[in-house]
Amino acid sequence: MQRHHPGGFAAHRIRAAGLVLLGCHLLFVGWLTLRPLSVPWVSPANLRPFASIHADLVDGPRAVLEGIGGGLALLAPLGVLLPMVSGRVTSRLGSWARTVSTASMISLGIELVQPSVPGQVADVDALLLNTTGVALVHLLCYPALRARLRAAARREDSGARRSGSPGMGDQGVPPRTPRVGIAP
C-alpha cells in the first residue's frame, strides 16, 4: 500500500518555499563562513569550550553583540526552515531533536572545513552558539509553523470532501471482489 504525504497541495507549496529559502540561507552561510579572508594575523583555533564566549563577555557589550549574538543568529533560521522542509507535523520533542541534530551537523561541517580556508579558524564555541540559536528559534516558532501546516492540511482535506473527490485523508471505498455464485 502506498502512503501519501499528508497535506496536499498547500503543504507541498509550503515545503517547496521552505526548500528554496533553506538553499538560499545555506548558500549565504557558506559564503559568509567559508570565504578566504585577507588578514595579517589569525588567532589560533579555539578547542576549549566557552573560551571565546568568556573573552567576548570580558571585552564589553559590542564584542558580546558581535561574537555571541552573531553566533546565535548565524544558523538560527534553520530552526524554522528545517521543519518547514520536512513537512512533518509531529511532536515538539521529535521535531526539536531532528532540527537541532541536523543543525549541529551542519555547523560541525562548517567548523571542520574552516581551517582549510585562508584566514578562517575553527572555534568550538561557534558550534555551541549556532546550535543554541537553532534550538531557541525552533522552540519559539515551531508552534506557529505546526498550526499553519495543520490548517493547510485541514483546508485541503475539507475542500476535497466538498468537491466529492477523494482527498489525501479520504481514500474512498476499498474495491470489493465480485460475488460469484456457487456452481451446482
Contact at 8 Å (CB) between 125 and 52? yes
Element containing residue 138 per DSSP (H, E): helix 124-163
- pLDDT tens figures, 2-27: 444 555 677 788 889 999 999 999 99
SS (H, E, C) the chain: CCCCCCCHHHHHHHHHHHHHHHHHHHHHHHHHHHCCCCCCCCCCCECCCCHHHHHHHHHCHHHHHHHHHHHHHHCCCHHHHHHHHHCCCCCHHHHHHHHHHHHHHHHHHHHHHHHHCCCCCCEHHHHHHHHHHHHHHHHHHHHHHHHHHHHHHHHHHHHHHHHCCCCCCCCCCCCCCCCCCCCC
Give the Cα-Cα-Cα angle 10, 4, 106 (nearest 5 degrees): 70
pLDDT above 90 (res 43):
no
- pLDDT tens figures, 64-99: 999 999 999 999 999 999 998 987 767 889 889 999
Instruction: Enter the pTM of the model.
Output: 0.77
